[in-house]
């Protein structure tokens, strides 16, 4: 069993990010059994959920003439446009049916403000809205976070970078995540960036 100051953070393991979903991440389903095994080892298990209103500004369809993968500006920031995904109340926003949820302490939802995207489980991309995740970890004396889930090059990366910058000892469980890879090397670049910022890159086998 891991220690009480350590939490497993499961990022966005939702149907729309699984093969067959609206914003499918290749091999996203393969991480589910690994995450289920990991959960048994942690005293604290916390999840995030991408949870957009149907008119979210990150959806290409909200911007006439634009397609998924194209860039716009949203909340003053460069924004890649996505297919409609993880709409509140839809099956695509639900967690993968085989993902174990019984030991979850908390679910932090993000992406609810239509005017700004929110990759990190802590803050929106403009760093204005706060989900309460940092305060929750601090109140529970958790100082180390082990991050897994989808997608490596977006929500996993931003969550890990925020965790590290907030002072948490941060671990990425490399075999329990997969990348969207809009560009084929995005996943590798995300790992490099995290490593460079002092995030530990580990395997589930070492947990």
User: Is 12 known to be catalytic?
Assistant: yes
Longest dimension (CA), the chain: 52
Taking the complex as a whole, the smallest distance from the CB of residue 47 to Zn ion amounts, in Å, to 15
User: Based on CB atoms, which residue is closest to ligand VGL, 25 or 142?
Assistant: 25
**Catalytic residue of the set 16, 50, 110, 117:** 110
CA distance 83 to 181: 15
User: Is 86 known to be catalytic?
Assistant: no
User: Based on CB atoms, which residue is closest to ligand VGL, 150 or 163?
Assistant: 150
- List beta partners, residue 200: 171
Q: Is 151 in the site for ligand VGL (CB under 6 A)?
A: yes
Q: How many other CB atoms are found less than 10 A from the CB of residue 73?
A: 8
Cα-Cα-Cα-Cα dihedral sign, residues 65, 16, 54, 116: negative
Closest CA to 15 of 114, 109, 122, 87: 87
- What backbone torsions phi and psi does residue 77 show, to the nearest 5 degrees? -120, 150
**Catalytic residue of the set 155, 157, 162, 164:** 155
Q: Is 50 in the site for Zn ion (CB under 5 A)?
A: yes
CA distance 168 to 153: 20
Taking the complex as a whole, the smallest distance from the CB of residue 3 to ligand VGL amounts, in Å, to 28
Taking the complex as a whole, the smallest distance from the CB of residue 93 to Zn ion amounts, in Å, to 10
12 binds, among ligand VGL, Zn ion, none (CB under 5 to 8 A by kind): ligand VGL
User: Is 50 known to be catalytic?
Assistant: no
- Interface with ligand VGL (CB under 6 A): 12, 17, 50, 82, 150-151, 154-155
For the annotated catalytic residues, the residue numbers are: 12, 110, 155
């Amino acid at each position: 069993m891991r220690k009480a100051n350590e939490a497993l953070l499961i990022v966005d393991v939702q149907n729309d990010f699984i093969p067959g979903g609206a914003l499918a991440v290749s091999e996203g389903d393969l991480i589910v059994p690994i995450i289920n095994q990991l959960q048994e080892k942690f005293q604290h298990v916390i999840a995030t959920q991408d949870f957009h209103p149907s008119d979210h500004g990150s959806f290409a369809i909200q911007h006439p003439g634009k397609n998924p993968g194209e860039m716009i500006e949203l909340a003053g920031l460069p924004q890649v446009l996505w297919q409609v995904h993880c709409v509140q109340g839809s099956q695509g926003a639900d967690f993968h049916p085989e993902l174990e949820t019984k030991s979850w302490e908390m679910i932090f939802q993000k992406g609810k403000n239509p005017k700004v995207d929110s990759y990190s489980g802590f803050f929106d991309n403009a760093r204005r809205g706060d989900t309460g995740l940092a305060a929750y970890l601090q109140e529970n004396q958790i100082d180390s976070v082990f991050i897994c889930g989808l997608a490596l090059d977006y929500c996993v990366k931003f969550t890990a970078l925020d965790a590290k910058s907030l002072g948490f000892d941060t671990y990425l469980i490399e075999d329990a995540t997969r990348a969207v890879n809009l560009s084929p090397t995005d996943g590798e670049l995300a790992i490099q960036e995290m490593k460079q910022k002092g995030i530990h890159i580990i395997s589930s086998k070492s947990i």
